[in-house]
Structures are given as C-alpha cells and as structure tokens.
Amino acid sequence: MIIKKLVVGSLFSMLLVSEMAAADWGDVYYCQMTNFNRISIEGETLKEHKLEKFKFKLDPTKNAMVFGNTGHFQDKVFEITTPFAWISQSTILYASSVDSSTYFENGKFLFASVYQPLTVTLGIELDVFGITSVSADCDKF
Amino acid sequence: MIIKKLVVGSLFSMLLVSEMAAADWGDVYYCHMTNNNGITLEGEMTKYKLEKFIFKLDQTKNAMVFGSSGHFANSVDELTTGRSFPIQEKWYANDKHSMTYFSKGRFLFTSMSLFDIESISADCEKF
C-alpha cells in the first residue's frame, strides 16, 4: 500500500513538474525584471533603471520570441536558435539578434546586449554602445 | 607662406589623428577592465575583480587572440564578417553565446551561460 502511494505520488509529481516545465509554441509569458543593469562604453555603471514588466510570445511562424509593444523590449523579435523540435520538449531556449543574446529556462529569463539604441525626441534613433543586462522571472497564465 | 604653413600643419594634424585612430593586423592591445560583473538567473549581481589582459589582432585567424593568462586566457574571438573594420579600429566578434565590441580603445564583452550573464568593459591601448 505504501509502495502504491509512493508510485502514485511520484507519478503525480512528475506530471506536475512536466506540466510546469513544458513550453510550447503560442505560449505567452509575462515577465517581471529582477535586474536591469547598464554599463556605458566608458565603463561607467549607469544609474539604476526601473525594473519593468514585459511579455513575449513563442511565435512559431517567426520561430522567435516576439515581445509586446511597451517597455525596453518593445516590438523586438529574437530568433530562437534552439533546435525547432526542442521547443515543446524543453524549457531551455536560446534566442539571438545581431547584437544580443537571450536565454530562457524554467521561467527564468536572461538578456545581454552590447548595443543600446537610444531613441531621442522626434523618434530619431542614435547608435549608443554599451552593455545592457537584464534578468527576469516569467510566468504563463 | 602662411597658407603653405597652414596646409602643412593641417596635413600633419590629419596624419596624427589618423595614426591615433588606425588599427592594423598584428597590433597588440593592453587592456584593463573598468567593469566586470555577473547577473544570475535569480537576478543577483556580483562584482568581480578587475583584471588586465592582452589581445592581438591576428590576420591569419581573422580574430582577436587573447593572452595566456586571466579571464580571457587563450580565447580566440573571430571577427564578425561585414561588421568589422580593423582599419577604422572598430569591430565585432560574436559567437553563439558571447558578444564583443571594440571601438577606438574601448572594449565591451558579454557572455551568456546556463547560470548567468557576464558583462565586462575595458580600456585598451597599444604600445
């Protein structure tokens, strides 16, 4: 009886873990930054930035993480470099753009970039170099 | 005579400026970190010791080849084709999980691992 309970308990735990772990195309993740650090090209740590909320979708047609329309990652599209077939079997994702790299595992998000486009008034974008690092906790609902 | 001096002076200044800005294959850069920190998956930041390091701009490898000690020991970071202009002293060296940007003596590096992000900035000079 005890063994039966243990087996059932283990199976239930495995089911729960796999349910939590599975990611799939179309999933939308809601994230809260836990760190947002910027270093200028002169090596200065820039003032502390507000920890933002953001969201992204695992978009199968673009094979990418597609971000929402607000905040630091506004409208960004990061191509997923993890093998396509892994997406529904694994929570580990790598995504990249020309100047950035993103890692996602079990709801933990990391982002690093050596390029910081700075949008000034009138919508003009300037090339400003420096390092941006972001960590965040993400959930899907 | 004054015009001749002005022209010669201007040419000399331009030569000096271009000499300062230009880089060339074979140049060796001596760098000291101005920032070295990591952010974990949990969002915790750690500041690491600021090290010195050297690298050579190696033409045969089309890469930054780092010295044998310190953080970048023996690393070879291939320059990104189409975005690297050594003659203008500006280049990228990206691989799947790390990015390096160098411009006129300023060095930026960030790498992504399964556990954290590492961010390094450094000032570099050639002697």
Residue B11 included in any domain: no
**What value does the mean pLDDT of chain A take?**
78
SS3 content of chain A, % helix, strand, coil (to 5): 20, 50, 35
B92: which strand partners? B101
Residue A101 included in any domain: yes
Residue B8 included in any domain: no
Confidence of residue B65 (pLDDT cuts 50, 70, 90): very high
Domain with residue B55: its CATH number is 2.40.128
B71: which strand partners? none
Answer yes or no: is pLDDT of A133 > 60.
yes
Residue B9 included in any domain: no
Query: Which residues in A lie closer than 8 A to residue B117 (C-beta atoms)?
Result: 110-112, 133, 135
pLDDT digit string (tens) for A38-77?
Answer: 998 888 888 777 999 999 999 989 989 999 999 889 999 9
Residue A8 included in any domain: no
Domain count, chain A: 1
Answer yes or no: is pLDDT of A127 > 70.
no
Residue A61 included in any domain: yes
- Write out residues 14-43 of B within 8 Å (CB-CB) of A: 33-35, 37, 39-43
Q: Which structural domain range is residue A125 located in?
A: 23-140
Residue A43 included in any domain: yes
Query: Which residues in A lie closer than 8 A to residue B43 (C-beta atoms)?
Result: 33-35, 135-137
Residue A7 included in any domain: no
Domain count, chain B: 1
Answer yes or no: is pLDDT of B27 > 70.
yes
Confidence of residue B13 (pLDDT cuts 50, 70, 90): very low
pTM: 0.78
Lowest mean per-residue pLDDT among A6-10, B4-8, B108-112? A6-10
Which of B103, B102, B101, B123 shows the shortest CA–CA distance to B111? B101
Residue B7 included in any domain: no
Contact B40/A39, CB-based, under 8 Å?
Answer: no
Residue B103 has its nearest CB partner, among A43, A129, A137, at A129
Q: Which structural domain range is residue B57 located in?
A: 23-126
